[in-house]
Amino acid sequence: MITTSSLPLPSDSLTMLMPVQCSKCHKNVQLLQPGPPSMCCHVATYTAPSSYSHHYPPHQLPLTALPPPPYSHLPPRPPLFARVCKRAVICAVSYKNSKHELKGCINDANCMRYLLVNRFHFPESSILMLTEEEADPNRHPSKQNMIKALYWLVQDCQPGDSLVFHYSGHGKRKKNSTGDEADGYDEYLCPLDFKTGELISDDEINAIIVRPLPHGVKLHAFIDACHSGTALDLPFLCRMDRSRRYLWEDHRPPSGVWKGTNGGKAICFSGCDDHQTSADASALSNTTPTGAMTFSFIQAIEHGHGTTYGDILSSMQYTIRNAENEDCDTGTSSLLNITRRGSLAAGFTQEPQLTASEKIKLKKPFSL
């Protein structure tokens, strides 16, 4: 078997090396182009094909939709050998001047950006904001712009990368007729132009940012919307039983279609179950409207309840269930001062959900 060490390197070899990944041990190796059709990884003693191809899990088919052409209005791709390993897309749709207007979405987006930069050390240049307040219309949260942003989020991702998708806006559900939904319904996000039929389905989101995730890449999604429990169509949902123990439910579709990743990990916190609605009000803030899910997640992190995935889920559920008993005078951190805590006038009928591409341990440390 020919290896790179047995080939003479030309003077401009740097421009002729193509990175490949061993499909057995996932070690990064480099192959000369043009070169042999395969090479040997000395770690796994396994032949790695020199041409890139997806290795889909059982039942998973290659995506039929190709990514849109390069989008000049998005942040530029990081240069070679200086990649940004953390990347985020934050979408907030407030539907201004319409009967569907929401008051808390922009606040949710600003707070999430603050959290990512100041708590989880995301470079500001690696966070793409789509809101109606952006001066550039290409960064308004229309369906086309949101789809392009999601493609950008996972573009060229590599092992070690951490990706975040946050959405605050309306959601809806419709009857499914293809048999690929465990509950019989498709869930949708409602972009700015949703009244013209421009919805984004859970199937589309899954195909764009879940199924292509390679080994070593992790994606966290935060969906603050109605009917958002399975907004990413992930195979497993964590639910509390009557003994108040968390158990994983199998939500793989009856049709057998693959909804998992290509080796990476996808985890989603959502505002409510698929049949529930999420609150957008000043109920958790004396003066500033917020989404209940986003607020409760930020509070869990800021108050030190975000050590593990189970801790975060429990804290979020507790905050929403018991907000009416919260003390308005409780001290808050610098981040929570942006959306000051308050008391809940009327109880919420929503239960934050946790879904994942695999059954993760709830005591697993949380990190972005």
The residues that are catalytic are 170, 226
- Taking the C-alpha atoms of residue 28 and residue 77, their distance in angstroms, rounded to an integer, is 20
- Taking the C-alpha atoms of residue 115 and residue 121, their distance in angstroms, rounded to an integer, is 9
- Taking the C-alpha atoms of residue 344 and residue 291, their distance in angstroms, rounded to an integer, is 13
Computed on alpha carbons and rounded to an integer, the radius of gyration of the chain in Å comes to 22
Count CB neighbours of 211 within 10 A: 24
192 Cβ contact partners less than 8 Å away, ≥ 6 residues apart? 93, 95, 132, 140, 141, 142
Residue closest to 336 by CA, chosen among 87, 86, 94, 118 = 118
Helices vs strands, H then E, count in the chain? 5, 17
Distances (CA, A) of 231 to 26, 189, 237: 30, 8, 11
Count CB neighbours of 100 within 10 A: 14
- Taking the C-alpha atoms of residue 246 and residue 356, their distance in angstroms, rounded to an integer, is 14
Which helix H or strand E contains 247, and what residues bound it? strand 246-250
- Taking the C-alpha atoms of residue 11 and residue 224, their distance in angstroms, rounded to an integer, is 53
287 Cβ contact partners less than 8 Å away, ≥ 6 residues apart? 340, 342
- The answer to whether 75 touches 125, Cβ cutoff 8 Å, is yes
358 Cβ contact partners less than 8 Å away, ≥ 6 residues apart? 235, 236, 260, 265
The CA-CA-CA angle for residues 364, 367, 368, to 5°, reads 145
